Amino acid sequence: MIHAAELIRRKRDGEELAADEITELVLGYTRGEVPDYQMAAFCMAVYFRRLNGAETFALTDAMIRSGDTIALGAAIGRKVVDKHSTGGVGDKTSLAVGPIVAAAGVPFGKMSGRGLGHTGGTLDKLESIPGFRVELSIDEFLAQVRDLGLAIIGQSANLVPADKLLYGLRDVTATVDNVSLIAASIMSKKIAAGADAIVLDVKVGDGAFMKTIEDARELAETMLELGRHAGREVACVLTDMDQPLGHAVGNALEIRETIATLRGEGPRDFTELVLAASAHLLAFSDLELDEDAGRQRAERTVQDGSALAMYERWIAAQGGDPSEDALPSAPVVREVTAGTDGFVRSIGAVDVGLAALRLGAGRRTKDDDIDHAVGILCLKKRGDSVAAGEVLAEVHARDDDTAERAVAEVCAAYDIGDEAPGARPIVLETIA
């Protein structure tokens, strides 16, 4: 018998809950014995009163126990690595990191999610590739990681079912942005999916859940601790999400940017993040490289074409057409131009993400359809100098009306001033 009301009251009053109480609540909720309204009240109590380390671990553990787990390394017979981002605008990092790491000889197996709100999802980006299958069975997933060295698929239905329910509930009850709830949500999925070593990209800034470096640090340290508890090697990179990552925001546009990056022709910030994350993953691998050697190995896969070749084999293995020409293109392309001379001081990441969403690149509710062709190219980035009339960005739209609105929104997202802002690296800090 679960006394949900009693547990909610005690958490509301700031008491610490025992691990078995949290387990009962989470497993009871997953079985449908605790209703949404009680779980929503519990999440709100957690939002205001927080969970301590032991409670956060108990929550994560209970979420993992709500469904299946995969012993990825044991099934493959090698150390398998994975990466995860807390979500941002234009974040296609996994799509480039996967082929680089696999081309360097390290198995990369990842389960990804869909986008909601202003942040895009890796699965949605992959689905802009004609024929690409994100729904492989676990056996197909394991076979592909073993044989090819790379698979990225949708999360299997019975992997952390508690998170599917809880995330949906948190999304509509203003309880997403709590460190313990985010850390438990991310780490339960990463631990259940079975990789031995994980690089976590914790986004910081306007377009991220974590608006300040202090909050991002707290989230990173909480996730590191949960990973260590579960016997996984974890490193966190805290990265800038004050402006969109790279140029492209929108599904097929981001796939094009991924291909360019694997060819060595990617935007500076995105290329740097991809190589930094790849270097960490290669340093975690069984190749016995340190981070510098991992970085060199990652760079070599781009220079010698093996990363791009791996990308093409991976896409084909999951049924997709890897050629760039196969990707959908938007019928209407409009330029956003600068009104004055100056420097780009900032580009509101959320504003650009929302403009892309309204073009149809994202979804407002989880049942919305996505238009894979549309999106925005932010050609000028923070610190770039611009002349009046010069092109800042391109809007790729389905029709004239949505294009016009997006042009106005993207124009408003750009802040142009007389002085160049101070330089800010893409990787702000690494915590390992």
Angle between helices 53-65 and 19-30 (to 10 degrees): 30
Strand partners, 200: 84, 236
Residues 290-319 contacting ligand URA, CB under 6 A: none
Backbone angles phi, psi at 67, to 5 degrees: -155, -155
Q: Return the number of the residue (140 or 177) whose C-beta is nearest ligand URA.
A: 177
Residues 30-69 contacting ligand URA, CB under 6 A: none
Does the footprint of ligand URA cover residue 87 (CB under 6 A)? yes
From the list 83, 114, 170, 295, the catalytic residue is 170
Half-sphere exposure of 336 (CA within 13 A, CB side): 28
Task: Out of 186, 191, 245, 361, name the contact with ligand URA by CB under 6 A.
Answer: 186
Q: Are 370 and 383 in contact (CB under 8 A)?
A: no
DSSP letter assigned to residue 148: T
E strand residue ranges, 120-262: 150-154, 197-204, 233-240, 248-249
Query: Is 143 exposed, middle or buried (CB count within 10 Å of its CB: 0-12, 13-18, 19+)?
Result: middle
* Cα–Cα distance for residue pair 88/419, rounded to 1 Å: 27
Does the footprint of ligand URA cover residue 204 (CB under 6 A)? no
Q: Return the number of the residue (182 or 370) whose C-beta is nearest ligand URA.
A: 182
Does the footprint of ligand URA cover residue 175 (CB under 6 A)? no
Backbone angles phi, psi at 116, to 5 degrees: -145, 140
Residue 215 C-beta: closest distance to ligand URA, Å: 13
401 contact partners, CB below 8 Å, separation of at least 6: none
* Cα–Cα distance for residue pair 147/246, rounded to 1 Å: 31
Does the footprint of ligand URA cover residue 176 (CB under 6 A)? yes
* Cα–Cα distance for residue pair 106/76, rounded to 1 Å: 11
Does 163 participate in catalysis according to the annotation? yes
Residue 174 C-beta: closest distance to ligand URA, Å: 13
Q: Return the number of the residue (206 or 394) whose C-beta is nearest ligand URA.
A: 206
Residues 154-173 contacting ligand URA, CB under 6 A: 167
Residue 9 C-beta: closest distance to ligand URA, Å: 25
Q: Return the number of the residue (182 or 393) whose C-beta is nearest ligand URA.
A: 182
Q: Return the number of the residue (168 or 339) whose C-beta is nearest ligand URA.
A: 168
Does 185 participate in catalysis according to the annotation? yes
Residues 111-140 contacting ligand URA, CB under 6 A: none
List b or e across 292-311, with b for residues whose CB sees 16 or more CB atoms inside 10 angstroms.
eebbebbbebbeeebbbebb
The runs of H, that is alpha helices, within 334-394 are 349-356
Stretch that binds ligand URA, among 14-22, 43-51, 180-188, 247-255 (CB under 6 A): 180-188
Does the footprint of ligand URA cover residue 99 (CB under 6 A)? no
Does the footprint of ligand URA cover residue 182 (CB under 6 A)? yes
Stretch that binds ligand URA, among 22-30, 175-183, 261-269, 406-414 (CB under 6 A): 175-183
From the list 11, 189, 280, 380, the catalytic residue is 189
Q: Return the number of the residue (169 or 377) whose C-beta is nearest ligand URA.
A: 169
From the list 85, 185, 188, 285, the catalytic residue is 185
From the list 84, 92, 256, 334, the catalytic residue is 84
Strand partners, 108: 81, 150
The runs of H, that is alpha helices, within 77-212 are 93-103, 122-126, 138-147, 161-171, 179-193
Residue 341 C-beta: closest distance to ligand URA, Å: 40
From the list 61, 91, 163, 242, the catalytic residue is 163
List b or e across 244-279, with b for residues whose CB sees 16 or more CB atoms inside 10 angstroms.
bbbbbbbbbbbbbbbbbbbeeebbebbbebbbbbbb
Residue 182 C-beta: closest distance to ligand URA, Å: 4
Does the footprint of ligand URA cover residue 86 (CB under 6 A)? yes
Q: Return the number of the residue (159 or 377) whose C-beta is nearest ligand URA.
A: 159
Does 170 participate in catalysis according to the annotation? yes
Question: Which residues form the catalytic set?
Answer: 84, 163, 170, 185, 189
| Contacts with ligand URA, residue ranges (CB under 6 A) | 86-87, 167, 176, 181-182, 185-186
